[in-house]
Amino acid sequence: MNLTDNPIFLTQKRLVHRGGVLAAIIIATLLGLSLFSGLVAYLANPTAFRFDSPEDAGRMFYGWIVIIEGVILVLGGFSRVSRALSDDRKAGLWDSNRITPLKPSQLVTGYWFGSGLREFYMAIAFAVIGLAVVLLAKLPITLWLGSQVLLLSTACLFGLIGLLVGMAFERSGILLVVAAFILCMFSLVAPGRMLPNFLLPIFGLNYLFQNPNHPGYQHQWDTPPSLFGLSLPPVILTLGIQFLVGFFLWRAAVRKTARPSQPLLLRWEAIALFAILVIIQHGLLWSIWQGHFPHIMLSGDRNYESRQSLLSAIHAATICLAIIILTCASPQPEVIRLESLRRGFKGVGPIFSRSAVPLAVALAVIAGTATFTQCIFSLDRIWNIVAIVCINLVELFVAYALLLEFCRVRHQKRAVGFLALWLFILWALPFIFALVFFDSDFAKLSMLAPGFHALDNPDTASSWDLLFLAELAHGAIIIVLFSAWFRQWKRLLAKTSTT
Amino acid sequence: MAEPLLEIDHLRVDFPDVIAVNDLSLTIETGDVLGLIGPNGAGKTTTMRAVAGLQDLTHGSVKIAGHDLAHEPEELKKRLGFMPDFCPTYDQLTATEFLDHFARAYAVPNRAKRIDECLQLTWLTEKSNALCGELSRGMKQRLVLAKTLLPDPQVLLLDEPASGVDPLGRIELRKLLLQLHDLGKAVVISSHILSEMSGFCNKAAIMERGKLVTFGTIADLGSRMQSRRMAVKWRVENAKASEILRNAGLKNLQVDALSATFDFDAAPDTLDDLLKTLIVEGVRVTEWRARGDDLEQIFLQSGARELM
């Protein structure tokens, strides 16, 4: 079915048009023309401005057009898609559409491309004026083409995220995205080496806007990124990563449309997505240590300290990513309970195999392997670092999976609050004690501590024994958690048989 | 025997703390109008949502015209119309545009003609260009019914279709359901207001706490009833009337000056004899009927306890 035959798309289009699009297009056009007129004014009287050349002026004016267009298309589009879907869900129209013979993919496509049409029209107005700016300033057409493709691809990615947010929440979730953008700002410390700069078009756009007449002006942005030493065009890398992530989001949206009780990510999808993102991230870091961590291989690098802590930052980001993926892929207890009713299992084996715990182990193995690549040639010196980081990753991920399911089974609707409480106690509270009592040894009791401590202090062997002891203690905590987790499951399944 | 259009076999639906539908089996044939009766929380809506594919089944199967929900959901959806107990409409679209959306979704041939037919069938032709948001609740209800009829489904599931509809609307709805019955559709209609359902249901299924208490044709269920509540009225005050009735050994007899009600569980001939005696004794009987509607009696004697 073509998009123009898709009833969801046509209805969303009708609703957008009924709400009025002309005013929005005129606003976008006026904004764009005001920037265009700035360039015309410069060309008419260059001495009145502080630009070095028409190209510089064109870059500045087109840069503003791209920023405004990006905010409208990406954030506005995301908000519009998620709100359209959550409104239709609340009104019962989502279910009405689901019971028609339309395929889930047609429903998803209709909302994805139909709801944000107003923002798309505004973006077209900006793009046309942007093209005029680029041509008038004699900038390379690749700047316009590359930036527009990046904006469109990012808007599509955020449209898919908007769909999933709309399926899960009753609000637009725009604050969530703004918070994510702010968090991504941290990745600006190492532009060409941090994945968020490529998941969002941050590096790609900056790279396109670099002035070739000023080489080294902003060295961090004009050097193409490399994956395990292989140099790649940043626009292609960004589009590739966005396509891969979008592929999994698309599958999740279609699956949730067909059966809302299914998890966002299947187990193989969770493993594949995590592996792709973590391996790309470590690939981007490769050229710093080239497998000799902690010895920096970049000649003349003045940011030794910041490079040293980069692996810790990636370790933290990997933990965050694993938490998100485990949360998305972990099956709801009710789904497992219903399956136990259908198949009649009650033992620990079938529950364990369906839970997120095996997935947590798989993710830890992937993350450990990716970290291992950074010290593959220095393993004889720092094997203990690798061992501590890998054990710590397994403990963290398994503990999270057990806690998540324990809280979901025991506390049901209050699960999020109790999960946050347990994570605070096990992960954050020791750091607070360390600050309050001025004793850093308290911090080592946190489940997070061994991995970070090992990566931050790879040359000091003084506290290895303490770290290994801490790992053992955390292992004991996991056994207790497992016992509590299993008891909750048994109780739930016992209740099933007596309901 | 007519071909079964809807077959529900050992259906079970679980919610976290309750079994919403437990081992429900029903068969509905062409032209059947089934009243799904039960108090709030009996599992009527969950059953309908499960048949429509909106609710995961724990056990059991649902088939429409031989197509299994689990294996051929697309085929099943083409043959099913589901009208929920509220009115989901796009408030910014006109009634025609709203129907056009669903006509496209169901790939209805000759869309414009079919939309006109459905608007006419639901007495909404005059409102075809009105925005859905401006329609009254009853009109919205009819519009959603029109949407349900658009693809000409073989099986219709109508969840509380008369809730919030004014008395005139209810009369029109009753006419429409009779029309659907004549067209050979299988209709499942849920309600906890029995008076709404009497007159057009030929089958009834009574549910309570997720379980099917009784199921069958109205005639079968009626014949299975242990007793019937009878009402009798006479024109002129007559002491003999009350005397005859009291001497007949009737259960729960309530007698006024010009009327009486009682439970009757003997053979129909005995009831005929009683009427004959009254007439012979000069009682001018003006009304002699089973009190209330049959569905209400069936429900009251089905074993279901709550009716809200």
- Burial class of residue A304, CB neighbours in 10 A (0-12, 13-18, 19+): exposed
List chain A domain ranges: 273-499
Instruction: Say yes or no: B276 contacts chain A, CB-CB below 8 A.
Output: no
Contact B84 A96 (CB under 8 A): yes
Nearest CA in chain B to A94: B88
Contacts of B19 in chain A (CB under 8 A): 499
| Position A341 pLDDT exceeds 80 | yes
Instruction: Out of A30-34, A181-185, A311-315, B129-133, pick the least confident.
Output: A181-185
Instruction: Say yes or no: A99 contacts chain B, CB-CB below 8 A.
Output: yes
**In this structure, what is the dihedral angle of CA atoms A204, A209, A212, A214, given to the nearest 10 degrees?**
-120
List per-residue pLDDT tens for chain B, 308 residues long. 556 899 999 999 999 888 999 999 999 998 899 999 888 889 999 999 999 999 999 999 999 999 999 999 989 999 999 999 888 999 999 999 999 999 999 999 999 999 999 999 888 999 999 999 999 888 898 899 999 999 999 999 999 887 767 777 778 778 888 888 888 889 999 977 666 676 678 888 989 889 998 888 877 776 666 566 788 888 887 788 888 888 888 888 888 888 888 887 766 677 788 888 888 888 888 888 766 445 666 676 665 654 43
What whole-number distance in Å separates Cα of residue A444 and Cα of residue A189? 27
Going by DSSP bridges, is the β-strand pair B67-68/B228-234 parallel, antiparallel, or unpaired?
unpaired
pLDDT number for residue B307? 42
CA distance B308 to chain A (A): 24
* Cβ atoms A458, A387 nearer than 8 A: no
Q: Which fold has domain B4-222?
A: Rossmann fold (3.40.50)
Choose the closest CB to A341 out of B14, B84, B88: B14
Contact A11 B93 (CB under 8 A): yes
CA distance B102 to chain A (A): 8
Domain B225-300 sits in CATH at 3.30.70.100
Contact B58 A18 (CB under 8 A): no
Choose the closest CB to B74 out of A8, A98, A101: A101
Nearest CA in chain A to B74: A101
The percentage of chain A sitting over the pLDDT mark of 70, rounded to a whole number, equals 94
Mutate to test the interface with A, among B19, B46, B56, B67 (most CBs of A within 10 A): B56
Contact B101 A7 (CB under 8 A): yes
pLDDT number for residue A48? 84
Contacts of A338 in chain B (CB under 8 A): 14, 56, 58
Contact B97 A14 (CB under 8 A): yes
Q: Can you state the angle between helices A449-456 and A379-411, rounded to 10 degrees?
A: 160
What whole-number distance in Å separates Cα of residue A115 and Cα of residue A14? 10
* Cβ atoms A125, A134 nearer than 8 A: no
Contact B106 A99 (CB under 8 A): no
CA distance A497 to chain B (A): 11
Parts of chain B belonging to CATH 3.40.50.300? 4-222
Instruction: Say yes or no: B162 contacts chain A, CB-CB below 8 A.
Output: no
Contact B106 A5 (CB under 8 A): no
CA distance A271 to chain B (A): 27
Contacts of A17 in chain B (CB under 8 A): none
Contact B147 A93 (CB under 8 A): no
Best-predicted range by mean pLDDT (A68-72, A330-334, B262-266): A68-72
Average pLDDT, stretch A256-280?
95
CB proximity list for A261: less than 8 A, separation 6 or greater:
A332, A334, A335, B56
Strand, helix or coil at B12?
strand
Contact B54 A11 (CB under 8 A): no
Average pLDDT, stretch A54-72?
95
**Looking at A28-168, which runs of residues are DSSP E strands?**
none
Average pLDDT, stretch A65-74?
96
What whole-number distance in Å separates Cα of residue B243 and Cα of residue B282? 13
A403-418, pLDDT tens digit by residue?
999 999 999 889 999 9
Contact B84 A499 (CB under 8 A): no
Nearest CA in chain B to A4: B104
Q: Read out DSSP for B210-230?
A: TEEEEEEEHHHHHHH-S-EEE
Instruction: Out of A6-20, A370-384, B212-226, B228-242, pick the least confident.
Output: B212-226
Contacts of B18 in chain A (CB under 8 A): 499
| Position A459 pLDDT exceeds 80 | no
Q: Cis (ω within 30 of 0) for the bond into A294?
A: yes
Count Cβ neighbours within 10 Å for each residue of A407-434 and write b for 16 or more, e otherwise: bbbbeeeebeebbeebbeebbeebbeeb
Parts of chain B belonging to CATH 3.30.70.100? 225-300
Choose the closest CB to B77 out of A91, A99, A412: A99
Nearest CA in chain A to B17: A499
* Cβ atoms A287, A298 nearer than 8 A: yes
Q: In what order do the strands lie in the sheet with B155-159?
A: B80-83, B155-159, B186-191, B33-37, B203-208, B211-217
Q: Which residue has better confidence, A121 or B254?
A: A121
Choose the closest CB to A14 out of B53, B89, B93: B93
- Count Cβ–Cβ pairs < 8 Å, chain A vs chain B: 75
Instruction: Say yes or no: B246 contacts chain A, CB-CB below 8 A.
Output: no
Instruction: Say yes or no: B129 contacts chain A, CB-CB below 8 A.
Output: no
* Cβ atoms B238, B282 nearer than 8 A: yes
Residue B147: CB atoms within 10 A of its CB come to 27
A470-484, pLDDT tens digit by residue?
888 999 999 999 999
A191-240, pLDDT tens digit by residue?
889 999 999 999 999 999 987 776 655 667 878 899 998 999 999 999 99
What whole-number distance in Å separates Cα of residue A10 and Cα of residue B128? 19
Contact B90 A93 (CB under 8 A): yes
Per-chain mean pLDDT for chain A:
90
Name the β-bridge partners of B285.
B234
Q: Which residue has better confidence, A182 or A314?
A: A314
Contacts of A96 in chain B (CB under 8 A): 84, 88, 102, 147
